[in-house]
Structure 1
Amino acid sequence: MVRSRTPRVLVAVLAVVAALLLGACSVRGGSSSGGSSSGPTGDGVLWRSGTDAATVLDTYRRTPWNTDDADDPKAVPSPDVPGRTAVAYTVPGGGTRSELEPAYRSFREGDENWFGFALYLPKDFPVGTSDWQVVAQWKNSGDGSPPLSIQVHGGRFVLEGGEAIGEHWQRDIGPAKAGARTDLVLRVHFSSDPGDGAVDVSMDGKQVVSDYHPKGGTLYPDESSYLKTGLYRSSDIGDDGTVYYDDVVIASDETAASNLASSS
């Protein structure tokens, strides 16, 4: 008598299908990402922007709200690091948004992460505008302005947030230099409690903000946040603007976040 092998075959097929589905999905807040992510590398790096011109944009999540009255982000030669591929975010005068989301998970109450940004503002970038210009934000999962962002206005890089809960705050980082590269490294302890939520910032290797506790916290109550990089700004700005990102790192420690392509 020959025993049927159907149950064993079915189990094997189901196992293969499950593995393929898990490998194809990257999750942010429980939803499919649509992009690929470089996972933990063992050196403290949890996610890093790609470097190859053909695939760098694939390390980011594709969403329908990345671009609004602006150009789609583009992979271009870095303006300051020979041989490096950068991502260029361009918004024309009167435009609003050209951004990307790293294909990485959302940040929740109690999380603590380090973030490294190597960005270049060209000579014609309107650093002196009095209107808001966001170059990086930890966008809340709900509506309204984020609990934490990096902005450029009045010739300065500025931390800003809290407006959506009526606790707007600002903290100066340092001069925003047009025609130059700036490396920013941040430690963020994510919490809706202002006593726990905290931010450290280093600019070009020098600490400029230490254990700052925003009055609105670094997270909104009962919400998560996710990182966005690029350029999001007031439509009242009449000048064109482009931000180049040489490197973006999400890490578990300061050393990993500080090891940016633009500083090597």
Structure 2
Amino acid sequence: MPRGLTRTVVGIVLVFLLAGCATGTRSSSGNGPSSGPTGDGVLWRAGAQSSTVLDTYRVTPWNTDDAEDPTAVASPDVPGRAAVEYTVPGGGTRSELEPAYRSFRPGDDYWFGFAVRLADGFPVDTSDWQVIAQWKNSGDGSPPLSIQVHGGRFVLEGGEAIGEHWSRDIGPAVAGQRTDLVLHVRFSDDPDEGSVDVLQDGREVVSDYRPRGGTLYPDEVSYLKTGLYRSSDIDTDGTLYYDDVVIASTREAASELATAS
């Protein structure tokens, strides 16, 4: 075979080999490991076993402050399944974990499912801020989007870091009871583009809500954190359990949270 033709054939073969390798690789955008799509719309899901559930999260030292580290325990709601327990003592501040998934950027469209139990004695009626999930911005300050518990309610809040604080009621928060929350978030720093839908225990309670500060901050990305982050002025111990957490591409996938049935 002529030398020039040989080089051409080798080059073509290399191109196809490299293309095949690229096809088999899924990027997590430089944010650590993440579970790949399962084919049913689930993009990431918390582990189900006590020995591995914490491995599905990104553990970082700054996510525990004057509190116990999150622990894997038997789910109080789903026999045979693990849950993550988060406890913050009175006067404490933070016990959180980050799902090992990529950050969220303008134009992203995701569904999130949370199966959360506020333990008996959880201070649901506090008037102080108390975050149980947040899409934390990459910069400083309060997040553009969070789920809080105060005044006996689950509440969406955000925007404070850019002087556009907003708040939207979700529904009742009851200690000693599991609640399933499913959120649909379109990520944008444009209030006309960023929106949130919420279902509580299968019932739509917030529809196409467009926060005046958007769902992202300008020139920043956000990443999900679950657990308990609250004012140190709260003097009552607080414990909550996450039976399941799902990041998905469809409402159906995010809504299929672990149950005892």
* Contact preservation (8 Å) 1:132, 1:233: yes
Match of residue 88, structure 1, among 85, 88, 103: 85
Q: Does 1:54 align with 2:51?
A: yes
Coordinate RMSD, CA, aligned: 1.7
Residue 263 of structure 1, CA deviation: 6.8
TM-score normalised by the chain length of structure 2: 0.88
Q: May I ask how many residue pairs the two structures share in their alignment?
A: 240
Q: Does 1:232 align with 2:232?
A: no
1:18-33 to structure 2, matched below 5 A, reads: 27=28, 30-31=30-31, 33=32
Provide Cα deviations, 1:142-177, integer angstroms capped at 9, x if missing partner: 000000000000000000000000000000000001
Q: Which amino acid aligns with 1:211?
A: D
> Runs (4+) of structure 1 moved beyond 2 Å?
25-28
Residue 26 of structure 1, CA deviation: 7.4
* Contact preservation (8 Å) 2:28, 2:34: no
Q: Which residue of 1 aligns with 2:97?
A: 100
Q: Which amino acid aligns with 2:163?
A: G
Q: Which amino acid aligns with 1:226?
A: Y
Please give the alpha-carbon distance, in whole angstroms, between the structure 2 residues aligned to 1:60 and 1:116: 15
Q: Does 1:171 align with 2:168?
A: yes
* Contact preservation (8 Å) 1:26, 1:103: no
TM-score normalised by the chain length of structure 1: 0.87
Q: Does 1:180 align with 2:214?
A: no
Q: Which residue of 2 aligns with 1:148?
A: 145
Please give the alpha-carbon distance, in whole angstroms, between the structure 2 residues aligned to 1:143 and 1:53: 33
Q: Which amino acid aligns with 1:101?
A: E
Please give the alpha-carbon distance, in whole angstroms, between the structure 2 residues aligned to 1:217 and 1:149: 12
Provide Cα deviations, 1:169-199, integer angstroms capped at 9, x if missing partner: 0000000011100000000000000000000
In structure 2, the CA distance between the partners of 1:182 and 1:131, relative to structure 1 (3 Å rule), is same
Q: Which residue of 2 aligns with 1:112?
A: 109
Q: Which residue of 2 aligns with 1:216?
A: 213
Residue 27 of structure 1, CA deviation: 4.0
Q: Does 1:253 align with 2:250?
A: yes
Please give the alpha-carbon distance, in whole angstroms, between the structure 1 residues aligned to 2:71 and 2:151: 27
SS in structure 2 at match of 1:79 = coil
Match of residue 118, structure 2, among 121, 132, 141: 121
Percent identity reads 77
Please give the alpha-carbon distance, in whole angstroms, between the structure 1 residues aligned to 2:109 and 2:151: 30
Q: Which residue of 2 aligns with 1:69?
A: 66
Q: Which amino acid aligns with 1:117?
A: F
Q: Does 1:139 align with 2:133?
A: no
* Contact preservation (8 Å) 1:118, 1:262: no
Match of residue 196, structure 2, among 199, 204, 218: 199
SS in structure 1 at match of 2:54 = helix
* Contact preservation (8 Å) 1:94, 1:238: yes
SS in structure 1 at match of 2:91 = coil
Residue 38 of structure 1, CA deviation: 2.4
Please give the alpha-carbon distance, in whole angstroms, between the structure 1 residues aligned to 2:102 and 2:151: 33
* Contact preservation (8 Å) 1:136, 1:150: yes
Please give the alpha-carbon distance, in whole angstroms, between the structure 1 residues aligned to 2:212 and 2:248: 25
Q: Which runs of 5+ in 1 are unaligned?
A: 1-14
Q: Which runs of 5+ in 2 are unaligned?
A: 1-16
